Amino acid sequence: MSTTPAQPVTRPGGRTARTRAAVRDATLAELAAHGHRGLTVEGVAERSGVHKTTVYRRWGGVDGLIVDALDLAADDDWQPADTGTFAGDCRALADAVRRSFADRTEGAASTAIVAAAFQSTRAADALRKFYADRHQRSEVVVDRAVARGELPAETDAAAIVRAVVAPLYHRLFVTREPIDERVTEHAAAAAVAAALAGVFAQT
Amino acid sequence: MSTTPAQPVTRPGGRTARTRAAVRDATLAELAAHGHRGLTVEGVAERSGVHKTTVYRRWGGVDGLIVDALDLAADDDWQPADTGTFAGDCRALADAVRRSFADRTEGAASTAIVAAAFQSTRAADALRKFYADRHQRSEVVVDRAVARGELPAETDAAAIVRAVVAPLYHRLFVTREPIDERVTEHAAAAAVAAALAGVFAQT
């Protein structure tokens, strides 16, 4: 389970759903292997076993393949880990991001999707939707902390879940510095401390 | 003055330095106008008035142009604002990033450079160095807070300055959400609260 775009998910469904999943898996594998610029309909067709003309007809092209891979993620059952404490949950959220990008294949595919969003408005829109969904699901971490009385009810959960993971993405894609467990721990602990200090309180 | 890659700086110097600055300014202007994929030696030559063969000979190609634009930034005199308080300084740091990207030309050029780093190892290395330098200069904000007794001496200044700006970059380039003054304020306030809570204390 992952907070990042490139985690293949097994889905039930008929032939259409299986084809869609196969094309999505092939898209992620091609992105991991060749990057955003190396993604081709031909490569996805060959890897998925779905005929090239079918891929063109149903997905249009590489942008459509990326968009559909992101859209499909909305159907998965990803939920943040429930560790029993707010600090533990935030740490688990940050750690999920760190581990996703440490995974060679998943990290490369997710990175390629983030890169694609710089070049394609459609990919950017799909990525925005993907993360909006992931972050909304992550807000349960804050909801549980509120229910336990760790945080006041009027807390900006959206800001907190973004604060937890932002330092990791900043290093990955802007400063291009390595991320390790210390960075992950700092990121989570800083968000927790800020939340407890009332920075994210809504009035 | 800016914390972002694309801020042209007037430099003294002889003919070589003026040529280099003209090529850098043209590179940033072309990046702002056409993006990373639209950057060409021809475009930079035409805009800068420097002959195409000179640009090829001295910069090699588009990667060399981006790298040199980032390298030149190391020579400027950028320093973070000194507002008199740790909270004010952090807010000013975050606000400088927000304003840089809100500026149409500077924001577009900086975004194109961040995009280039996904495609070019040389651009990624230069971007890493650029931000390492900017963040090192930003650490004076923490040094001043330590000198005023706002923070303990053994504080991880590098982590704090990154914590201040990370939420902005995360929204700009990953979640692709808008950034406004409230986001900026949250980012700075969260980093300050975490620092005061001892999250960045080094033992």
CB B23 within 8 A of CB B65: yes
- Is B171 within 8 Å of A162 when comparing Cβ atoms? yes
Tens-digit pLDDT profile for residues A172-182: 999 999 999 99
What Cα–Cα distance (Å) separates residue B160 from each residue in A158, B114, B124, B130, B146? Answer: 21, 22, 23, 18, 13
- Is B197 within 8 Å of A196 when comparing Cβ atoms? yes
Q: Which of B128, B165, B187 minimises the CB distance to A177? A: B128
* Measured distance CA(A138)–CA(A80) in Å, rounded: 6
| pLDDT value, residue B203 | 73
* Measured distance CA(A83)–CA(A149) in Å, rounded: 16
What tokens appear for B64 in the block? 């060399």
Interface test with B, best of A170, A171, A186 (most B CBs within 10 A): A170
A2 has pLDDT over 90: no
Q: Which CATH architecture has domain B15-73?
A: Orthogonal Bundle (1.10)
Tens-digit pLDDT profile for residues B1-16: 356 777 655 556 788 8
Label residue B103 by pLDDT band (50, 70, 90). very high
* Measured distance CA(B111)–CA(B97) in Å, rounded: 12
Mean local confidence (pLDDT), B143-151: 96
On whether any CB of chain B is under 8 Å from the CB of A177, the answer is yes
Q: Which of B173, B175, B186 minimises the CB distance to A174? A: B173
- Is A114 within 8 Å of B173 when comparing Cβ atoms? yes
How big is chain A, counted in residues?
203
Average pLDDT, chain B: 94
Q: Which residues pair with A201 in a beta bridge?
A: A155
Label residue A4 by pLDDT band (50, 70, 90). confident
Tens-digit pLDDT profile for residues A120-129: 999 999 999 9
Chain B residues 70-129 with CB within 8 Å of chain A? 111, 114-115, 117-119, 124, 127-128
| pLDDT value, residue A22 | 96
Q: Which of B166, B189, B198 minimises the CB distance to A170? A: B166
- Is B128 within 8 Å of A176 when comparing Cβ atoms? yes
Between A15 and A91, name the one with better pLDDT: A91
Mean local confidence (pLDDT), A151-155: 93
At a CB cut-off of 8 Å and minimum separation 6, what does B53 contact? none
At a CB cut-off of 8 Å and minimum separation 6, what does A192 contact? A86, A87, A90
A8 has pLDDT over 70: no
Tens-digit pLDDT profile for residues B10-55: 556 788 889 999 999 999 999 999 999 999 999 999 999 999 999 9
Average pLDDT, chain A: 94
Secondary-structure breakdown of chain A: helix, strand, coil percentages, each rounded to the nearest 5: 70, 0, 30
Q: Which residues pair with B155 in a beta bridge?
A: B201
A10 has pLDDT over 90: no
Residues of B in Cβ contact (< 8 Å) with A167: 162-163, 166
Q: Which of B163, B171, B174 minimises the CB distance to A173? A: B174
The CA distance from B13 to the nearest CA of chain A, in Å, is 30
ipTM of this predicted structure? 0.93
CB A165 within 8 A of CB A3: yes
Q: Which of A37, A186, A197 minimises the CB distance to B200? A: A186
Mean local confidence (pLDDT), A63-75: 95
Q: Which CATH architecture has domain B86-196?
A: Orthogonal Bundle (1.10)
Among A166, A189, A194, residue whose Cα is nearest residue A87 = A189
| pLDDT value, residue A149 | 95
Label residue A16 by pLDDT band (50, 70, 90). confident
pLDDT cut 70: percent of chain A above it = 96
pLDDT cut 90: percent of chain B above it = 89
Tens-digit pLDDT profile for residues B114-124: 999 999 999 99
Residues of B in Cβ contact (< 8 Å) with A156: 186
Between A53 and A8, name the one with better pLDDT: A53
Q: How would you label B73-99 residue by residue, b for 16+ Cβ within 10 Å and e otherwise?
A: beebebebeeeeebbebbbbbbbbbbe
On whether any CB of chain B is under 8 Å from the CB of A169, the answer is yes
Q: Which of B118, B119, B193 minimises the CB distance to A197? A: B193
Chain A residues 14-53 with CB within 8 Å of chain B? 35-37
A29 has pLDDT over 90: yes
Domain boundaries, chain A: 15-73, 86-196
Interface test with A, best of B175, B181, B184 (most A CBs within 10 A): B175
- Is B170 within 8 Å of A171 when comparing Cβ atoms? no
| pLDDT value, residue A1 | 35
Residues of B in Cβ contact (< 8 Å) with A196: 197
